[in-house]
Amino acid sequence: MTTPPPGVPTPGAPHDDPAVSPPHNAPAATPPHDGSAAPERVEVVAVTGIGEVRPGDDVAALLAGAGLRDGDIVVVTSKIVSKAEGRVRHAPDRTQAIEEETERVVARRGDTVISQTRHGFVMAAAGVDASNTEPGTVLLLPEDADASARRIRAGLGGVRVGVIVSDTFGRPWRNGLTDVAIGVAGLRPLDDYRGTSDTYGNPLNATVTALADEIAGAAELVKGKLAGVPVAIVRGLSHLVTEDDGPGVRPLVRPADDDLFRFGSRDVVFARRTIREFSDRPVDPEAVRRAVAAGIAAPAPHHTTPWRFVLLESPQTRTKLLDAMREAWIADLRGDGFTEQSIAKRVKRGDVLRNAPYLVVPCLVMEGSHTYRDERRNTSEREMFIVATGAGVENFLVQLAVEGLGSAWVSSTMFCRPVVRELLDLPESWDPMGCVAVGHAAAPPRDRAPRDPGDFILTR
């Protein structure tokens, strides 16, 4: 690492974890690894003498004396990009700015908030920073850091370089911060080794290296948090620099469907949504069984286990059950005097079950319940078990969502319990408590209507 004396312009001289890497059949976000040998020497050089950056400043112009060479990679701290682009806000604290920059809160503990920004980044305080800025102001992330990187690169015309806009992120499971790329131009952001073999001939099925993040982290070694050095040059990686601006940082942001850890502690309950349209994608039976394990972790009276889950994995069984239930509903509705038109409309509501690739029938069992001489107490006893069954089904539905599966809990079986017991050959003591349609959502669910918790609270 080389750092010039302070005030003197530089002279002319994330992480790959197979457990969370993109799926093997995902399209490569970058050109495949070219098989070239690792460079023998990489230099990281601090660029000093830039001074305080003000709104309207041209970041590229500030680098005019940096002595850039073809193949260099310029790493620019996002703070000076934000200042130059006027992403400075006057605020007594960060609270309001964090709320406005947050797409969703992933986790919260005390004053610490982990947020997903509209850029797709998951980071502390939605990237809102109160350091290295005048008192009473906060810095927001660049509106579009890829576009910022492209503008800086274009402003450095005459030299072939890559540009990274970096910011500091924390990391799950590890203490300490590191810089990562939030904007990229003229650089291959990922190195994809999938489909190749290691030196022992073992196939690599999940190895994707976050090149841009590694370079951003290396650059931070000479910039530092307190040194007042916002730019570094990484030299020796010219094979990663591209002729065009490239895909930007987007390939580094894991799609929600591929993110095994998408839901933070605050998200888990709200992840459950009623899904009524499912794709043809098959359901992993093991995922359903993991959801059952969550279901039976619910509280129950008298240390009992009042839950049973009937998994309808056979298409023939699902069809027979739904046909039999349909006939029972129609007979009941006709007996109640409904018109044929009204019956057809009501029966159609069961299509969510017929269109689902997987069905689950939760059942209540009263094993371990107490019997009293007072019928009122017996009624209360059953109600306790019904509440416990509902808690178990809710756990089940939430875990399905965590597994990436949509669901719809329909009360249909409760209107024809004898038919369900007979067709599924269930014990008489098993009480079917509806039917859960399970599958992969065909489209994102509609946003929930806003609800104020205060409307549901009574304080005494």
CA R_g for the chain: 29
Whether 5 is in a domain gets the answer no
Whether 17 is in a domain gets the answer no
CATH number at residue 432: 3.40.109.10
Is 290 in the same domain as 171?
no
What global pTM score does this model have?
0.70
Whether 8 is in a domain gets the answer no
Is 154 in the same domain as 123?
yes
Q: Report which secondary-structure segment, H or E, holds 60.
A: helix 59-62
Whether 178 is in a domain gets the answer yes
Is 61 in the same domain as 140?
yes
CATH number at residue 141: 3.30.1330.100
Is 160 in the same domain as 294?
no
8 Å CB contact between 383 and 459: no
Sequence-distant (≥ 6) Cβ neighbours of residue 276 within 8 angstroms: 352, 408, 437
Is 440 in the same domain as 357?
yes
Is 193 in the same domain as 341?
no
Query: Which range marks the domain in which residue 85 is found?
Result: 40-255
The shares of helix, strand and coil residues in the chain, as percent rounded to the nearest 5, are 35, 20, 45
Whether 1 is in a domain gets the answer no
Is 208 in the same domain as 319?
no
- What pLDDT sits at residue 225? 67
Is 114 in the same domain as 215?
yes
Sequence-distant (≥ 6) Cβ neighbours of residue 423 within 8 angstroms: 320, 321, 324
Is 213 in the same domain as 354?
no
Q: How is residue 243 written in tokens?
A: 């002729």
Tens of pLDDT along the chain (460 residues) come to 444 433 333 333 333 333 334 443 444 444 555 555 678 899 999 999 898 999 999 999 999 889 999 999 999 999 999 999 999 999 888 888 999 999 888 888 788 888 899 899 999 999 999 888 888 899 999 999 999 999 999 999 889 999 999 999 998 889 999 999 999 999 999 988 878 888 888 888 778 899 999 999 999 999 976 678 999 999 999 999 999 999 999 999 988 777 877 777 777 888 898 999 999 999 999 999 999 999 999 999 999 999 999 999 999 999 999 999 999 989 988 999 999 999 898 888 778 999 999 999 999 999 999 999 999 999 999 999 999 999 999 999 999 998 989 999 999 889 899 999 999 999 999 999 999 999 999 988 888 888 999 999 999 9
Rounded distance, CA 304 to CA 192, Å? Answer: 51
- What pLDDT sits at residue 37? 61
- What pLDDT sits at residue 318? 95
SS3 243: coil
End-of-domain residue from the set 211, 228, 255: 255
End-of-domain residue from the set 205, 225, 255: 255
Whether 9 is in a domain gets the answer no
Rounded distance, CA 434 to CA 321, Å? Answer: 13
Q: How is residue 452 written in tokens?
A: 């104020």
Q: Report which secondary-structure segment, H or E, holds 316.
A: helix 315-335
**CA proximity to 246, closest of 37, 29, 75:** 29
Neighbours of 227 (CB within 10 A): 12
Is 288 in the same domain as 212?
no
Q: Report which secondary-structure segment, H or E, holds 74.
A: strand 73-77
Whether 48 is in a domain gets the answer yes
8 Å CB contact between 370 and 383: no
Q: Report which secondary-structure segment, H or E, holds 138.
A: strand 137-139
Is 347 in the same domain as 406?
yes
Sequence-distant (≥ 6) Cβ neighbours of residue 5 within 8 angstroms: 48
Q: How is residue 185 written in tokens?
A: 């131009």
Whether 372 is in a domain gets the answer yes
Is 190 in the same domain as 280?
no
Q: Total structural domains in the chain?
A: 2
End-of-domain residue from the set 200, 233, 255: 255
